[in-house]
Amino acid sequence: MDLEAIADQRWRGEDTAGPEDAVTGCFTVAQDVAFLPSFGNVVALGSDDGLVLVDTGADFNAAGIRQSLRAWSEARVHTIVYTHGHVDHVMGARLYDDEADEHHWPRPRVVAHERVVARFERYALTAGYNEITNRRQFNRPRLRWPREFRFPDETYRDATTLEVGGLSLQLRHERGETDDATVVWVPERGVLCCGDLFIWTSPNAGNPQKVQRYPREWAAALRHMAELGAEVLLPGHGLPIFGAARVHQALSETARYLESIVDDVVAMMNEGAGLGEILETVRPPADLADRPYLQATYDEPEFIVHAIWRRYGGWWDGDPASVKPAPARRLADEIVALAGGTDPVLARVAELVEVGDDESLRVAGHLMESVWRVARGPAQAQLRERLYATRAARASSTMARGVFSGAARESIPDDH
């Protein structure tokens, strides 16, 4: 399999295969640098004192990644760098501790930004919430949220340089998808590991079920990375980008995408607009709409608007009815009573689903939830399932699809 050829197809938008998981194995992408595509990607760099790994994979794929890595090199793992503390990047680290114990090697040193520690502590505090939201987000009803983490042995605050067996790695802290991100730049190999600051989709800067993200700081991080002159970009998800010009283009265009949304939202906030009006108005730059690496397949610009509002404003959306809202059940009773019962509301929901444009489906959601709070018979359940299955099928992003699929599934609970 020629990774560079597939990466080239993807860059041109000719490869519509979808998720990066289609490509697996261990590929040499620069001198003594291996790339292991998975969810998330792992990078291995050879040195005179052993391997340096950037990320380690998720609990469900880490063993396979280690196997592929071991076909590429048998050297001990000297150092592991976490690009951030998300579970698809850190859960494989334990395998290399175990491996070291087996071979009577020293255990690898794990290096990460200092906020990774607070993240792991939060993950333990909110384990139930994280399990529920990740099951919904990824449509994996049996997903288990980990309760134990491999904490870093060394942390840093702003920037640090690691010297390992003649190899020099420059680590720099950034904020973007997370508050604990590390970018790894290896000048002598021309390789830049950016973690999830670039993932071949529009930035995951607005995820509706997760803690605050940092769209403006994210853009600054991308601008900084674009200036490094990297020959190969190794992202946290998706294939590498080969060639300095392409790396520069991808990073600086993604920066512009975020800057444009941030600037527009902040300008409207400064003029006194409410969140609803901003959501209806702000759109990403039209000239970037066809970029294969900026499609809204994972997160969506609409959700980024929410994140910017939350970052710079209060939780109130500007609607006077919503600062102290009515109990949802009482409001539903009133709407159903005004309509003359649940039947006319249900009939209107069915019509709107039939019409099927985005705005009609949005309205159908509000009406459906009003009925659902008042009555939950088979007719209501069936229509609710149909509405959200339709919305899931129409959704471009994993985030929206996960919420809608979850709602469809809970409408008609299966009895096994």
Tokens of 50: 């052993």
Q: Are 117 and 82 in contact (CB under 8 A)?
A: no
Query: Residue 8 CB, nearest distance to Zn ion (Å)?
Result: 23
- Name the one range near Zn ion by CB under 5 A: 32-40, 54-62, 154-162, 342-350: 32-40
Tokens of 77: 């793992």
Single residue of 37, 40, 240, 284 touching Zn ion by CB under 5 A: 40
Residue nearest Zn ion, Cβ-based: 40
Q: Is the bond leading into 365 cis (omega within 30 degrees of zero)?
A: no
Total residues interacting with Zn ion, rule: CB under 5 A? 5
Angle, alpha carbons 146-151-154 (nearest 5°): 160
Residue with tokens 């000297």: 78
If the CB atoms of residues 40 and 238 are measured against Zn ion, the closer one turns out to be 40
Query: Alpha carbon of 278 to those of 95, 266, 295, 304: distances in Å?
Result: 47, 9, 21, 11
- Return the closest-CA partner of residue 205 out of 194, 195, 219, 193: 219
Measured in Å, how far apart are the chain's first and last C-alpha atoms?
42
Task: Compute the Cα dihedral for 272, 275, 277, 283 and give only its sign.
Answer: positive
Residue 46 binds Zn ion, judged by CB under 5 A: no
If the CB atoms of residues 47 and 204 are measured against Zn ion, the closer one turns out to be 204
- Name the one range near Zn ion by CB under 5 A: 28-36, 195-203, 257-265, 334-342: 195-203
Q: What is the per-residue binding string for Zn ion in 59-98, x denoting contact by CB under 5 A? A: ---------------------------x-x----------
If the CB atoms of residues 24 and 322 are measured against Zn ion, the closer one turns out to be 24
Residue 264 binds Zn ion, judged by CB under 5 A: no
- Name the one range near Zn ion by CB under 5 A: 65-73, 121-129, 230-238, 271-279: 230-238
Q: Are 222 and 254 in contact (CB under 8 A)?
A: yes
Residue 196 binds Zn ion, judged by CB under 5 A: yes
- Name the one range near Zn ion by CB under 5 A: 213-221, 231-239, 263-271, 302-310: 231-239
Positions touching Zn ion (CB under 5 A) are 40, 86, 88, 196, 236
